[in-house]
Chain A
Amino acid sequence: MFLYVEDADHRPVYQQLRDQVVEAIARGEIGEGTRLPTTRQLAVDLGLNFHTVARAYDLLRQEGYLQVGRKVGASVHVRRGPPNAEWHAELRVLLAAAYAKGMSSEEIVTACREATQGFGRAAEPKDSLA
C-alpha cells in the first residue's frame, strides 16, 4: 500500500494520511495486525516533520483504527463501533450539501453505492505487506 501526500490538497497533511489509512482499511488493503512504519520512518520517507506523522497516528489511535506500541510501532487494530460521535451528523451535512446543490436522491444513493463498491475486508491477518 502506498501513502501519498498531495501538495495541492486542501486538507492538512496529517488529515491526508489519516484518511488514506481509513480508506485502505475499508478497501481491505490493510487489515487487523498490519504493521505501519514507525513515526520516524514514515516522516523520513515522506519528507515530513516527525510531528505531522505523530499527529496522524495519534488521531487514528484515538479514533480506534491503530494500536501504537512503544517498540513495535503502530499496527492496525480496529475498535468496532461507530466511527466517531459526529459521523451521523457529518454524513447528514454531506448528503444535504449534495442535495442542496441539485443532486437527486437517487444520484446520491448511486454515488454512495459506487463509493462502497471497492470496500472489502482484508483476506487474513497480515503481518506486513510486501
Chain B
Amino acid sequence: MIAWIDAVLLLLLGCGYYWMPDAVHPTLPFGVRVPPGRERDPAVSAAKRTYRQVLAPLTLAGIALALLNTSPIVAAGLPALFLLVAYGNFYVAHRAVRAAKLKGDWYAGQRTATVAQVGAPASLRRYPWGLLAVAALVIAATAWIGVAHYAQLPAILPTHFGANGKANGFSAKSPLSAFLLVIVQIVQTAGLALLGYVQPRMRQDLDPAAPVASLARHRAFQVVMTQMLVVLAIGVDISLLLGSLRMWAVGPAYNPMLNVAPVLIVTAYAVWAGVRVGQGGNRMAAGQAEEATGRVHRDDDAGWIGGAIYFNRSDPAFLVPRRFGVGWTLNFGHPTAWIALVALVALIIAVPSLRHR
C-alpha cells in the first residue's frame, strides 16, 4: 500500500517538475531573468532539453524503487530524496542559463523598469465563499460525528496506524486526543483560506513590456489560485474526516492508508491547475494586443539564492511569487517569514506529540 502511494507521489512530483519550465514566464527560464527575445536562445533551449532528459529517467527510476521497496523508512525518505535530486537537476540548468546571460551580456542596452498598476484593488466578491462553506461543512460534520460518539469511545484511542492497517499508537481518551484531527482541520483550513484571501493583495510582478496583458493574466491567476487553495483544504479536511472515523471506529473497517486518497486527489488537481494556468497566469490567453512600451522587466536575479530561495532584507514583502514553480515562497530576509516557518514547524511537531499523551 505504501509503495503505491509513494509511487503515485513520485509520479506527480516528476510530472510536475517536468512541466515546470513551461509553467513559468518565458523570460524566467530556470529562475534566471532574461530579456524578451532571449526566451528561445539556444542556451535556454539546451538547458531545458537537458533538464527534461535527466528528469524523465530519474522519475521512472524513483517510481520503480518505490514499487520494489518494502521498508517504510525508505518509503518515507524517497520523496525527499527525489526532491533533492530534482533540485540539483534544476540548479544545473539554472547555472547554465545564468552563465550564458553573463557571457552574452544579454541586458546590455535594455531599458529595464518596474511597473505597478494604479487602480481598483482585488475584489472581495470573487472569494470562493461557497467552497469555503463546503470545507466548513466537512469540519462541522466531523465534529458532530465525534460529539455523537464521544461517550461510547473506549478509554484508549488508537491514534496511529501502521502500514498494515493495524493500530500501533494509542492515547488516553480526552477531548483533545479524540478531536485532535478536527483541530488540525480547522487550523489547516484557516491557513489555506487565509493564504487564498491574502495572495491577490500581494505584489503583482507585472511585465513592463506588456502591462495590460500581464495584469489581466495575474487577475485571472489569482482567482484560480484562491479556488485551488480552498479545494486543497477541502481534500485535506475529508482525509482528516476519514482519519477521525478510523480513530473512533465509526463506519466499516478498511486499510487506513486509503485515507490519503482525498489529499492525493486534490494535490493532483492542484498540480493540474497550476500547470494549466502557469505561474502568474502565464499560460492563459493573451487578450488583445497592446502597444509596445519599450521597457523590459528589471534583471532581478539578486536576492535569489540557488535560483530557488529568496533572501532580500530590503523587500517589504514577506511572501513572493516563486521563480520556478507555481505559487509563492517566503522572503527569508523578512522576519515574518521566519516567524511563520517556526510556527508551522512547531505545529507539525506539536500535533503528533499531543497524540501520545
Q: Do A and B bind each other?
A: yes
Is the Cβ of B118 less than 8 Å from the Cβ of A1?
yes
Complex CA gap A45/B119 in Å reads 12
Q: List 29 A-B contacts (CB under 8 A).
A: A1-B118, A1-B119, A2-B115, A2-B117, A2-B206, A2-B211, A3-B116, A3-B117, A4-B114, A5-B113, A5-B115, A6-B112, A7-B113, A8-B112, A30-B118, A37-B116, A42-B116, A43-B316, A45-B116, A46-B116, A47-B114, A47-B203, A47-B315, A49-B314, A50-B316, A128-B119, A128-B120, A128-B121, A130-B120
**A contacts, CB < 8 Å to B:** 1-8, 30, 36-37, 40-47, 49-50, 128-130
Q: Chain A contacts of B117 at CB under 8 A?
A: 1-3, 45
Q: Chain B contacts of A49 at CB under 8 A?
A: 314
Cross-interface CB contact of B115 among A3, A40, A41, A128, cutoff 8 Å: A3
The chain A residue sitting closest to B300, CB to CB, is A47
Q: Chain B contacts of A44 at CB under 8 A?
A: 202-203, 316-317
Q: Chain B contacts of A130 at CB under 8 A?
A: 119-120
Cross-interface CB contact of A6 among B113, B202, B315, cutoff 8 Å: B113
> Does B38 have its Cβ within 8 Å of any Cβ on chain A?
no
User: Tally of A-B residue pairs with Cβ under 8 A?
Assistant: 65
With both chains docked as a complex, state the minimum distance between the C-beta of A26 and any C-beta of chain B, in angstroms. Answer: 15
The chain A residue sitting closest to B114, CB to CB, is A5
The chain B residue sitting closest to A43, CB to CB, is B316
Using an 8 Å CB-CB cutoff, how does the interface string of B313-331 with A read, 1 for contact, 0 for none?
A: 0111100000000000000
Q: Chain B contacts of A40 at CB under 8 A?
A: 316
**B contacts, CB < 8 Å to A:** 111-121, 202-204, 206, 208, 211, 293, 295, 298, 314-317
The chain B residue sitting closest to A126, CB to CB, is B119
Complex CA gap A94/B115 in Å reads 29
- A4, A49, A129, A130 — most chain B CB neighbours (10 Å): A4
Q: Chain B contacts of A5 at CB under 8 A?
A: 113-115
The chain A residue sitting closest to B315, CB to CB, is A47
The chain B residue sitting closest to A8, CB to CB, is B111
Q: Chain B contacts of A3 at CB under 8 A?
A: 115-118
Complex CA gap A42/B115 in Å reads 10
Q: Chain A contacts of B316 at CB under 8 A?
A: 40, 43-44, 50
The chain B residue sitting closest to A40, CB to CB, is B316
- B116, B208, B295 — most chain A CB neighbours (10 Å): B116
Q: Chain B contacts of A37 at CB under 8 A?
A: 116, 118, 121
Known: A2-B211, A45-B203, A47-B203. A129 touches B113 (CB 8 A): no
Complex CA gap A40/B208 in Å reads 21
Is the Cβ of A46 less than 8 Å from the Cβ of B114?
yes
With both chains docked as a complex, state the minimum distance between the C-beta of A32 and any C-beta of chain B, in angstroms. Answer: 15
The chain B residue sitting closest to A37, CB to CB, is B118
Is the Cβ of A129 less than 8 Å from the Cβ of B118?
yes
The chain B residue sitting closest to A6, CB to CB, is B113
Is the Cβ of A4 less than 8 Å from the Cβ of B208?
yes
The chain B residue sitting closest to A24, CB to CB, is B118
Q: Chain A contacts of B295 at CB under 8 A?
A: 4, 6
The chain A residue sitting closest to B208, CB to CB, is A4
Q: Chain A contacts of B115 at CB under 8 A?
A: 2-5, 46
With both chains docked as a complex, state the minimum distance between the C-beta of B47 and any C-beta of chain A, in angstroms. Answer: 26
Is the Cβ of A2 less than 8 Å from the Cβ of B298?
no
Complex CA gap A37/B204 in Å reads 14
- B117, B121, B293 — most chain A CB neighbours (10 Å): B117
